[in-house]
Structure 1
Amino acid sequence: MGSGSTTGRRRGAPGPTVDRDVPALIVKFGNYPLHHGGVGAIRSLGRLGIPMYAITEDRWTPAALSRHLRRPYVWPTTGTEEPGRLVEGLLRVGRLIGRPAVLVPTDEEAAVLIAEHQEELAPAFLFPRTEAELPRRLASKQGLHELCTEHGVATPEAAFPASYADVVAFAERARFPVVAKNREAFVRRHRPAVRGTTRIAGPRELLALAREWGDAPGVILQEYLPREEAEDWIVHAYFDAHSEPRALFTGVKVRSWPPHAGMTACAYVVDNPELAGLAAQFVKRIGFSGIVDLDLRFDRRDGQYKLLDFNPRMGAQFRLFESESGVDVVRAQHLDLTGRAVPEGEQRAGHRYLVENIDLPALLAYRRSGYTTPHAPARADSTELAWFAADDPVPAFAMLGRMVRPGVRHLYETYEARSKGRGGGA
């Protein structure tokens, strides 16, 4: 069963032998229907004959329309619901599936909920068991910074102001530019202090922003690593109950959207044994089990890989990586949790991953800036598209429809307004 979305000379490996009696459920909370990672997980496991289910916002999300999905469970959520309500909803879905299913969370809210309610969810689902508080701590910028400091892992210098006065004191001593981020991952469902990673040029700009943060700023102020002196690397892996890597991959992020600070738009597989060793060692020390998606920046000024983000769940671009034995991190988890051996194999080289709907604007932005990634290969032997797959084309068309619809609505409303204006003046 080759990967239907791979183009070029090489195609995916046939894939390992899995337990087709054990289904899988894609779990996501919040309203973000254009999520290619969930579609990728449905295809990856579905192509092996595993019954696939997914929680979706409605019946017309791209994930809900995949031919590899047996059934979508329409359950609109915001991510701000009481945990008890979300646990009840998950158990209700589990009863509808009718047999224990492997859980595949695609966001921090789902990963944290599963970890913190393991005992209630265990009878209905299969998932890696880890320390209940650990995923929430890893998803927090402050919690991750503390863990890195505790275990000697390089990370950008950071401050965590508790008041406006703390921001003023920081502005007086800091070396600008600096970066502001929301301290907790979950704040995006409420009222974030900043929209995303925000570069701040100087003290005046910082203080102007801080006036809007209230008495308790929920931000981290972090050292800025100039892109001219840095490289963006990613690690995707699955760790078993003993925090041993059963599948571990490394690559470089070539483009992101928004530029230099957002979701991966284009990435390449690049072997990096040093980085793989650093990641495995850190995960072993903290005792995490499950799928991880790490973002690191190599700072050429001091020769260190600095950990920026630790996502305790599947990353949206996980299909960049597959071993020569046909294993990706989602397949590795299913194999391990169902008692099957995870076949060994080197990561397939020369592979590229593109997210069609965001890579074009990212490409234009990067070309204007003149920035290139030093370790990006000159060419790829094969390319996997996030949305389009020859054996499953409908999700790509659904994605396009959802992107075009707001623009069409805007054009129609503009036309109506102008028509009324002309009519009133006649």
Structure 2
Amino acid sequence: MHIDRNRALPRVLFLAPPRWHGAHCTMRSLGRLGVRVYALEHRGTSPSNTSRFCAGTVPAGDNGRPIGDAAGIVEDLVRAGRRLGAGTILIAGTDEWAVFVAEHADELAREFSLPRPSADLVARLASKVGLFEIASGYGFPTPRLVVPRSLDHVGEIAPTLTYPVMVKPVVSRPDVDSKAVVSGVAELLDYAGAHAESPHDPNLMFQEYIPGTDADVWMFTGYFDAQSRCRAAFTGRKLRQCPAHMGHTSLGVAEPNPELVEQATAFLSAIGYRGIVDSGYRFDSRDGTYKILDVNPRVGGNFRQFVSANDLDVVRALYLDLAGMPRQATEQLDGRMWLKEDSDVVAMVQYRRLGELDLKTWLKSLRHIDEGATFALDDPMPFVSAMALVVTDTVAGRWRRRRRSLRTAPAAAARWAA
């Protein structure tokens, strides 16, 4: 893609925690066009901030999250915007940041260019309950769900559900994103007791489980301008997920799905959405519909899975639009394969344990990767840093399990002796 580098190109500030790979994917996508992309300061290892396309960092929030004094965070961002220059484009990389930016858009817009969806809409889309209410209200298919008011309420409704059931947090955060498929009442009660945030506000929801395989999970990602017109629309499938069968994309492919594009763009335009969206759907063979699972009001980590014939992705579409150089994406490049290397190593182990993947098949699936989340010959450090984190996390996890077993062994021996 060519853009006029003789004109001043606005800078970008990307908001995300240390391990959010969407940050360095954004840095690479825009950096290769000559755009300077900045990130937040982080504690500890941050693969994105090691990228040669990271132009620098700014302080705001707590380790890449909008936690703490909201007024202070806004002040830090406004100060950063003044330093980076007029027209700096602000991009949220997580639901937390998307909600925060939407809530404080009036103050931030004094120094930044940014999409302006309504704060209420962003907050509701970031909540599974809000999404269910919006989709149902507009007549778009979505799985049925129940939200318990408390742990006591879990005990009341558990016997009334149809199993299996998908359990998710109502509001996801970087430290709260676990999910599971449970097969019965006892398993549901055990899971809820272990994962509830509090007895009176568990932040859990029980969602209808739609049968199928990973191949039935579809993605739609797009960019909608200030008039809610779709400037870029892409669809594809998850081939592998991490955790297996219920996590983020570790291996994905871009595939055309005109029916899903029509459904997704109609829904998002109808609700007046503006900005980048990352959404998940599952095809339900029981009634032949695509059911909305998630609509994340921000850029997805795997957005580079999707590129158009005129070399646009959703981040480039947003940037060019807000920089006064709008372009419409042409047809997507179908068959484009994208890999998140560190996650796919973990996914391979998990699918292998399930008896669904062997080493030879896994290696064969890596032959035709078009782009990796971390690996790039012209930008090697994010890959090195990410794989080092896989090793240290694995060692640390095994050490924790070993310590737990050593602590429980004497108690077990005493019970046996008794």
Q: TM-score range by the shorter chain?
A: 0.7 to 0.9
Decide which of 276, 291, 294 is 1:291's aligned counterpart. 276
- Give the aligned partner of residue 415 of structure 2: none
Number of matched pairs: 389
Structure 2 counterparts to residues 10-25 of structure 1, below 5 A: 14-17=1-4, 20-25=8-13
- Shift in Å at residue 160 of structure 1? 1.4
CA deviation after TM superposition for structure 1 residue 175, in Å: 1.0
Distance 1:413 1:257 in 2: 21
Matched, 1:242 2:256: no
Residue 160 (structure 1) aligned with residue 147 (structure 2): yes
Structure 2: how far apart are the matches of 1:411 and 1:275?
A: 42
Matches within 5 A, 1:395-414: 395-406=382-393
Deviation at 1:410, TM superposition (A): 8.3
Rate the CA distance shift 1:16–1:365 in 2: closer, same or farther, 3 A: farther
Matches within 5 A, 1:133-148: 133-148=120-135
> Secondary structure of the equivalent of 1:227?
coil
Which residue number corresponds to residue 82 of structure 1?
A: 69
Which residue in 2 is equivalent to 1:7? none
Which range moved further: 164-173 or 287-296?
A: 164-173
Q: CA deviation at 1:130?
A: 1.4
1:197 to 179, 194, 215: 179
Asked if residue 221 in structure 1 is aligned to residue 213 in structure 2, the reply is no
Q: Structure 1: which 5+ residue stretches go unaligned?
A: 1-13, 373-377, 415-426
Q: CA deviation at 1:406?
A: 5.0
Kindly indicate whether residue 112 of structure 2 is the aligned counterpart of residue 130 of structure 1.
no
Over 3 Å counting, the alpha-carbon distance change for 1:20 and 1:66 in structure 2 is farther
Aligned to 2:55: 70
Aligned partners of 1:183, 1:311: CA distance in 2, in Å? 13
Structure 2 unaligned residues grouped into runs of 5+: 358-364, 402-418
| 1:135-184 residue CA offsets vs partner (Å, 9 max, x unmatched) | 11100011001011101111111111213453233222211111111111
CA drift of 1:344 comes to 3.5
Percent identity for Structure 1 against Structure 2: 37
**Amino acid paired to 1:205:** E
Tell me the alpha carbon deviations over residues 226-274 of structure 1, each in whole angstroms, 9 at most, x when there is no partner.
2349710001100011111101100001111111111110000100000
Alpha carbons of 1:20 and 1:235: their partners in 2 closer, same or farther (altered >3 Å)?
farther
Going from structure 1 to structure 2, the CA distance change for 1:413 and 1:201 (only over 3 Å counts) comes to closer
Moved more, 336-345 or 124-133: 336-345
Aligned alpha-carbon RMSD (Å): 2.7
Per-residue CA deviations over 1:88-109 (Å, capped at 9, x if unaligned) read 1211211221333111111011
Does structure 2 conserve the Cα–Cα contact (< 8 Å) formed by 1:295 and 1:309?
Answer: yes
Secondary structure of the residue aligned to 2:81 is helix
Distance of aligned partners of 1:268 and 1:17 in 2 relative to their CA distance in 1, 3 Å threshold: farther
Q: Superposed, which structure 2 residues align to 1:103-118 within 5 Å?
A: 103-118=90-105
- Whole-angstrom distance in 1 between the partners of 2:355 and 2:45: 39
Correspondence list, 1:9-408, <5 A? 14-17=1-4, 20-28=8-16, 32-58=17-43, 61-75=46-60, 76-77=62-63, 78-186=65-173, 189=175, 192=176, 196-211=178-193, 213=196, 214-228=199-213, 231-369=216-354, 382-406=369-393
* C-alpha contact (below 8 Å) 2:192/2:204 kept by paired residues: no
Deviation larger for 389-398 or 378-387: 378-387
How many angstroms apart in 2 are the aligned matches of 1:16 and 1:324? Answer: 16
1:79, distance to aligned residue in structure 2 (A)? 3.7
Q: Which amino acid is 1:231 matched to?
A: D
8 A Cα contact 1:20 1:49, kept in partner: no
Considering Cα pairs closer than 8 Å and 6+ residues apart, tell me whether 1 or 2 has the greater RCO. 1
Give the Cα–Cα distance (whole angstroms) in 2 for the partners of residues 67 and 340 of structure 1.
26
| 2:112 aligned partner, one-letter code | F
Amino acid at match of 2:262: G
